A and B are shown apart, each in its own frame.
Chain A
Amino acid sequence: MLLPKIITKVQDKFPSVTLDTTQFAGEDIIHIQGSYNLDVLKLFRDNGFNFLADITAIDNLTLGGFERFAVVYHLLSHETAERVTIKAYVPEDQPELPSAESLWKTADWQEREIYDLFGISFKGHPNLIRIMNPDDFQGHPLRKDYPRLGRKERDDFPVVKRGINKEAAQ
C-alpha cells in the first residue's frame, strides 16, 4: 500500500498547498492549490504512481468548492494497482495552472481539451490550441454558465449566398 505513506508525505512537505484530503466510495481525493500541481504530481510520480490515467476538469459554479474550477488528475500505480484522485483548484478570475506535459506526454491533448471546453489555460504547454471545436469558436461549452440550447454559434456561421438566376434557368 503506497498511498497512505505518500499522502502523509504530501501533507508534511506541502502543508499550505494541501487544502483537504477526503474519501468517497473507497477513493482517496487530495485537494490542492492549482499553482502547485506540478510539485505534488512529481512527488506522486517519483513514488510509484507512474501512470496518468486521465485529466479532466469540473466547473464548481453550483456545486461549491475551494475555487470555481478544479482540474482533476487520476493517477494509477502499475506496481500496486492503486488509484488516487488529485483535484487542483483554479480561481475564476485567473484560470491558469502549470502544464503537466513535462511529466507525462499524455497531458498534451487532454489539456488542450480542457482549454477548449473549460477555458482553463496551461502554462508551459507546447501547443495550446482548441482541439474539439473549430479555432474560431467562441466560448467554452462545458462551463456551467454556457447554455445547452441556443443559436449563437449557428447564427455566427457565414452564410453563402448563391444568386439563382431564374431567367437563365428557364
Chain B
Amino acid sequence: MVQGADQPMDTERMVLNFGPQHPSTHGTLRIIMELEGETVIKGTPEIGYLHSGFEKLGEYLDYNQYITITDRMNYLSPLCNNVAYALTAEKLMGLEVSKRTEYIRVLMCELSRIADHILNVGMLAVDLGALTAFLYGFQLREDIYDLFEIATGTRLTTSYTLVGGLMRDIPDKFDEAVIKVLDNVDVVARDIETLLNKNRIWQDRTKDIGIISKEDAISYGLSGPMARASGIDWDIRVQEPYSRYEEFDFDVAIALNGDVFDRYLVRMEEMRQSVKICRQALDKMPAGDVMVDPDLGFSLPPKDEVYNSIEGLIYHFEITMRNRGMTPPIGEAYVATESPNGELGFYIVSDGGRVPYRVRTRPPSLMNYSIFPKLIEGHMLSDAPAIIGSTNVIAGELDR
C-alpha cells in the first residue's frame, strides 16, 4: 500500500462567487460558495442587490398610489400582489366589495398563478439544460400576458385593483379568450410532463436534491408549493378563504418527499387546479359593479361625469386632493393570501391619515430562500441552479 493512501486527499477549499450576474440566479442573487472539489461545504447567500425602499415609499404614497408599487414586487405575478394589497386596505377600512369584483380577482389571481408556475417550471428546466420545456411554457405565458393586456391595459405593471374594487371591468367576450388559453394549459402541461417526468436526466438531477423535512419547513417559515411539497397540508385559499375562494371546488396538491422533483410536481398539479378554478369563476361570474358605492367616498367618479358636470369634477378633486381623500380609522390589519410563491401578506398600520403609517410586505421569497444555505450543504455545485430554481426566488420581492 502506498504510504498515506488511507488518508483523505489534501485539497484546498475554494471560495466561489455565484452571481450576482450568473444566468441561473434569475436577477440579482449572490451566493458565496465554499467548495471542496465540486462539493459545496457552505453557501452563504447575500441579498439586497435590488433593495428599493418600497416600504419607506409606502409611507409617502396614498392607498391607491401604492398599488403601482406592489406590481413591481413580484414581477411574475403582479396581479396577486395587487389583490393582496387591496384586500388588506379594504380590511383596514372595513369595506365590502361586490361579488363580481371578488370573482374577477380570483380569475386574475389564478391566471397569474398559471403564468408564474409555468415560467418557474420552464426556468428550472432551462437551468438544468432542457430548453424545449421552457419554450413550450413561454408560449403559454405570452398568451396569458395577452389576456392581462386585454383586461388591464398592460402586461406587467397591471395596477388592476383599487381600494374598494377594480380599475375597470373585464371587457366583453373576455371569457371566450380566457377559455381558449385555458384549453391550451392542459395541452402544454401534458407536453412538459411528457418531456420531463420520466426523463432519466431530469430525475437524476431533481430527485433527492434539496430535501426539506416537515419540521424544517415550519421552522423556516416556508409556505406555498415549497411547504406543500414537504407534506404540509396548508393552503390559505382553503384554510382561511378570502375573496370567496370557499365557493370554488378544487384540490390542494401535496407531495411528501420535499425534494426539487416534488416541488415541480406540486406546481404542475396546481396549474391544473387553477384551470379548474378559472373555469368555475367564468361560469359563475355574477353581474354587478366592480367598485364600491361611490357615496362612501372611495371610488373616483366615471370620467364623463368628471368632464361634463361640476359635481363630478368637485367630487373627483375631493378624492384626489392632498388634504382630502380616503382616511381609514386608526388601526392595523394583516391579510395573508396564497400567492404562487406562498403566503403573501400585507401589514398596514394607519394613524388615520391619508397615507399609511407603515406598510409591510410579508414576502414569501425571503422565507423560502432563507432555507437555501441548509439545502445546498453537501450537494454538488451543479445542484445549486436546481435548488434556486425550485425555490422560485423573485428578487424584487426578496429585497423590496
A residues whose Cβ falls under 8 Å from a Cβ of B: 24-25, 27, 29, 50-54, 56, 58-59, 62-63, 72, 74, 76, 78, 81, 83, 85, 104-106, 108-110, 113, 117, 130-134, 141-142, 146, 148
Given contacts A132-B48, A141-B53, contact A54 B347 (CB under 8 A): yes
B333 touches A27 (CB 8 A): yes
Given contacts A25-B331, A106-B219, contact A63 B357 (CB under 8 A): yes
Count the B residues whose beta carbon is within 8 Å of the partner chain — how many?
40
B150 contacts the other chain (CB 8 A): no
B281 contacts the other chain (CB 8 A): no
Among the 9-residue stretches B6-14, B181-189, B358-366, the one with 4 or more Cβ atoms under 8 Å from chain A is B358-366
A78 touches B51 (CB 8 A): no
For B223-244 the 0/1 string (1 means CB < 8 A from A) is: 0000000001010000110000
A56 partner, pick from B232, B234, B347, beta carbons under 8 A? B347
A132 touches B47 (CB 8 A): yes
Residues 324-374 of B at the A interface (beta carbon under 8 Å): 331-334, 336, 343, 345, 347, 349, 351, 357-358, 360, 362, 366-367, 370-371
B397 to chain A, nearest CB (A): 13
A148 partner, pick from B60, B232, B370, beta carbons under 8 A? B60
Given contacts A50-B218, A54-B360, A78-B234, contact A29 B370 (CB under 8 A): no
B94 touches A25 (CB 8 A): yes
B92 contacts the other chain (CB 8 A): yes
B residues whose Cβ falls under 8 Å from a Cβ of A: 47-48, 51, 53, 55-57, 59-60, 91-92, 94, 216, 218-221, 232, 234, 239-240, 331-334, 336, 343, 345, 347, 349, 351, 357-358, 360, 362, 366-367, 370-371, 399
A140-B331 Cα distance, complex, nearest whole Å: 24
A133 touches B51 (CB 8 A): yes
A106 partner, pick from B55, B59, B221, B240, beta carbons under 8 A? B221
B333 touches A24 (CB 8 A): yes
| A-side contacts of B59, CB under 8 Å | 148
B360 touches A106 (CB 8 A): no
A63-B358 Cα distance, complex, nearest whole Å: 10
A53 partner, pick from B47, B239, B332, B362, beta carbons under 8 A? B362
A106 touches B53 (CB 8 A): no
B232 touches A106 (CB 8 A): no
Shortest 10 CB-CB contacts between residues of A and residues of B: A106-B221, A24-B331, A132-B48, A132-B51, A54-B362, A56-B360, A81-B239, A105-B219, A109-B370, A105-B220
A78-B232 Cα distance, complex, nearest whole Å: 9
B333 touches A51 (CB 8 A): no
B331 touches A72 (CB 8 A): no
In this complex, which of A24, A54, A117 has the most chain B Cβ atoms within 10 angstroms of its Cβ? A54
| B-side contacts of A53, CB under 8 Å | 221, 336, 343, 345, 362
